[in-house]
């Protein structure tokens, strides 16, 4: 079968890092329809209003208005020839390469346009420059070199707080070139080896990726296994989950797969759990004894760099009551934070269960942003308990993924509502802001309450079964 080369954009690098098969299926199949906000959400982008806030103080801002890539490129080049200082929503095109940096900034130097040239910057909700941003920056730099005859030395990421972070293109270029070669082969029709990771969940082709991996019993369906570990096991002639589970640890170690004993033992138990479809108890976690417990979950809108809902399930002697603290508009975030803090003052010695690192990170960040008493800060540090970090050393589940949705469903919890997910909660909140339809807020509240109740259900399951 012959494939025409499909276009490569900066987002292709993000997709490749998450799941190479995402790039392949996008290039060879009819692409699924995607919500524009969802695309920005996946790529750590911001809504246009938030971007305007970031760049409005920059000099001489002009905006590329065309939607068609070729016309947008013509407008961009016109602005570059005119020497405009800030070109917002720029488009860079060369053959089947299309780059859309959030803005171009003029700097002094030399190019085909005169005694100046342009550098590219993206606006991201981030606190660090991740590898996928660097890949995108290298891509912009190569396009700019072809267009203006001068290659930028640095790439830039601007945060919602207007902090500019830079990185050297040259330091990342070798890895970028190798990745670009892989992407070129894939968009030309070469199917990559499938490898199931949590990144695949972000792909619209996730169900296809999962089916491919499960159908051949691939080692990548083991939870959190690394590519290097799969390669090491393959070199030891262990190529699928069933074969791995059937071997004894002595047989495995005789094959010298070059994986530490403790790690090899953990992976082997995961293979056994998957094969037998039965969880394995490793140890009993020690939960603090308490008459009252809190279960905590946050809903955020990364498109606006906003945390808009804190949900708390108060459990006292087996009876549960849900409390919500909502910022129904972005400017109410601080008010919501202080209402939450006032509520938590009544639970200074109560364990607060959450799932994963996010909740602890947000309260630390908002405490720095809006203020928090020393007493409450110490209470959070002492009482916050990450349920996932307690589960991992205690139970091996017969599952490829350990998200709250996966584990709580295994424990018997069922979510309510239509397509419940954190991503949909963001999209519902955006619809609420636009239409002020209470239905969408109610969906979010139901989803958040489900999350804290699911966390409670999972904790009870672990207490009962991990003994």
pLDDT in tens, 379-418: 999 999 999 999 999 999 999 999 999 999 999 999 987 7
Section 53-64 average pLDDT = 93
- pLDDT tens digits along 311-330: 999 999 999 999 999 999 99
Helices (H) and strands (E) in the chain, counts: 19, 16
Question: Which pLDDT value is given to residue 202?
Answer: 86
Domain span at residue 74 reads: 8-187
Which of 167, 187, 207 is a domain's end point? Answer: 187
Q: Determine, yes or no, domain membership for 235.
A: yes
- Does residue 115 contact residue 132 with C-beta atoms inside 8 Å? no
CATH label of the domain that carries residue 405:
3.30.420.10
Q: Determine, yes or no, domain membership for 207.
A: no
Is residue 273 located within the same domain as residue 316? no
Is residue 28 located within the same domain as residue 130? yes
Is residue 17 located within the same domain as residue 158? yes
Is residue 334 located within the same domain as residue 439? yes
Rounded to a whole number, what is the largest CA-CA distance in the chain?
74
**36-to-2, 135, 190, 282, 374 alpha-carbon distances in Å:** 30, 22, 28, 44, 42
Q: Which positions ≥6 away from 245 have C-beta within 8 Å?
A: 268, 271, 272, 274, 275, 276
Question: Which pLDDT value is given to residue 1?
Answer: 41
Is residue 110 located within the same domain as residue 46? yes
Total count of domains within the chain: 3
Residue, of 313 and 467, whose pLDDT is higher: 313
Question: Which pLDDT value is given to residue 3?
Answer: 45
- Does residue 61 contact residue 88 with C-beta atoms inside 8 Å? yes
Q: Determine, yes or no, domain membership for 424.
A: yes
Is residue 237 located within the same domain as residue 363? no
**Bridge partners of 301?**
306
Q: Which helix (DSSP H) or strand (DSSP E) does residue 174 occupy?
A: helix 169-187
Is residue 106 located within the same domain as residue 72? yes
Q: Determine, yes or no, domain membership for 59.
A: yes
- pLDDT tens digits along 371-383: 999 999 999 999 9
Mean pLDDT of the chain: 93
Is residue 144 located within the same domain as residue 235? no
Q: Is the pLDDT of residue 205 over 50?
A: yes
Residues 148 and 110: their CA atoms lie apart, in Å, by 9
Q: Is the pLDDT of residue 2 over 60?
A: no
Give the pLDDT band of residue 269 (cuts 50, 70, 90).
very high
Q: Determine, yes or no, domain membership for 213.
A: no
Is residue 367 located within the same domain as residue 254? no
């Amino acid at each position: 079968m012959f494939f025409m080369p499909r276009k490569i954009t900066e987002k292709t690098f993000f997709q490749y890092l998450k799941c190479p098969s995402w790039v392949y299926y996008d290039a060879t199949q009819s692409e699924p329809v995607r919500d524009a906000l969802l695309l920005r959400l996946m790529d750590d982008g911001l809504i246009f209003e938030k971007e305007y806030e970031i760049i409005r103080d920059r000099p001489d801002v002009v905006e590329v208005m065309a939607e068609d890539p070729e016309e947008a490129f013509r407008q961009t080049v016109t602005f570059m020839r005119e020497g405009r200082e800030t070109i917002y929503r720029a488009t860079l095109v060369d053959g089947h390469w299309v780059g859309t940096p959030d803005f171009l900034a003029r700097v002094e130097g030399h190019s085909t346009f005169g005694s100046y040239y342009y550098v590219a910057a993206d606006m991201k909700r981030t606190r660090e420059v991740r590898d996928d941003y660097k890949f995108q920056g290298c891509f912009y730099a190569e396009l700019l070199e072809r267009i203006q005859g001068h290659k930028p030395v640095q790439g830039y990421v601007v945060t919602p707080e207007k902090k500019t972070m830079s990185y050297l293109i040259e330091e990342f270029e070798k890895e970028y070139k190798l990745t670009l070669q892989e992407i070129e082969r894939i968009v030309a029709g070469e199917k990559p080896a499938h490898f199931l990771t949590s990144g695949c969940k972000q792909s619209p082709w996730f169900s296809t990726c999962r089916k491919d991996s499960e159908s051949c019993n691939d080692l990548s369906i083991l939870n959190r296994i690394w590519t290097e570990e799969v390669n090491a096991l393959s070199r030891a002639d262990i190529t699928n989950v069933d074969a791995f589970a059937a071997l004894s640890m002595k047989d495995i170690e005789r094959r010298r797969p070059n994986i530490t004993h403790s790690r090899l033992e953990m992976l082997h138990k995961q293979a056994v759990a998957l094969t037998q479809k039965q969880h394995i108890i490793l140890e009993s976690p020690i939960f603090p004894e308490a008459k009252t417990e809190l279960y905590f979950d946050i809903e955020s809108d990364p498109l606006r760099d906003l945390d808009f809902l804190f949900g708390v399930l108060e459990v006292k002697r087996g009876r549960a009551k849900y409390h919500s603290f909502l910022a129904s508009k972005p400017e109410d975030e601080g008010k919501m934070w202080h209402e939450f803090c006032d509520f938590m003052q009544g639970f200074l010695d109560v364990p607060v269960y959450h799932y994963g690192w996010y909740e602890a990170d947000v309260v630390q960040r908002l405490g720095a942003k809006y203020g928090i008493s020393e007493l409450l800060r110490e209470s959070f540090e002492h009482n916050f308990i990450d349920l996932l970090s307690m589960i991992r050393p205690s139970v091996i589940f017969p599952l490829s993924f350990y998200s709250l949705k996966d584990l709580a469903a295994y424990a018997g919890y069922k979510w309510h509502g239509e397509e419940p997910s954190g991503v949909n909660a963001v999209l519902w909140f955006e619809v609420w802001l636009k239409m002020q339809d209470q239905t969408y807020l109610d969906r979010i509240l139901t989803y958040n309450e489900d999350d804290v109740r699911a966390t409670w259900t999972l904790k009870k399951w672990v207490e009962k079964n991990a003994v």
